Amino acid sequence: MEENITPYCTECGGKLKWDAKFRHYSCQSCGLTYTEAELSRALEKLYDRDDDEDEKRKQRNQDYLDWWTSSKKKK
């Protein structure tokens, strides 16, 4: 379980909350839900995107990468 990790919504940047009952993440801001597989795919899509004009987005991708890498290591 990784309930202590707080990932962020790939759509709006809101906090995602792990819902153990439904086994998915739900966004606290826009209500979007992700299963672990969906979140993984969404993050991979972000990595693939090479948008030099948007430094903020790049920084956020890096945050995702850090989070994702560390969450995998803990397993």
Residue 9 found at the interface with Zn ion (CB under 5 A):
yes
Residue 14 found at the interface with Zn ion (CB under 5 A):
yes
Residue 6 found at the interface with Zn ion (CB under 5 A):
no
Beta bridge partners of 27: 16
Q: Please, where are the H alpha helices in the chain?
A: 36-48, 55-74
Binding residue for Zn ion (CB under 5 A) from 8, 25, 27, 68? 27
Residue 5 found at the interface with Zn ion (CB under 5 A):
no
d(CA 54, CA 43): 17
Residues lying near Zn ion in the complex (CB under 5 A) are found at 9, 11-12, 14, 27, 29-30, 32
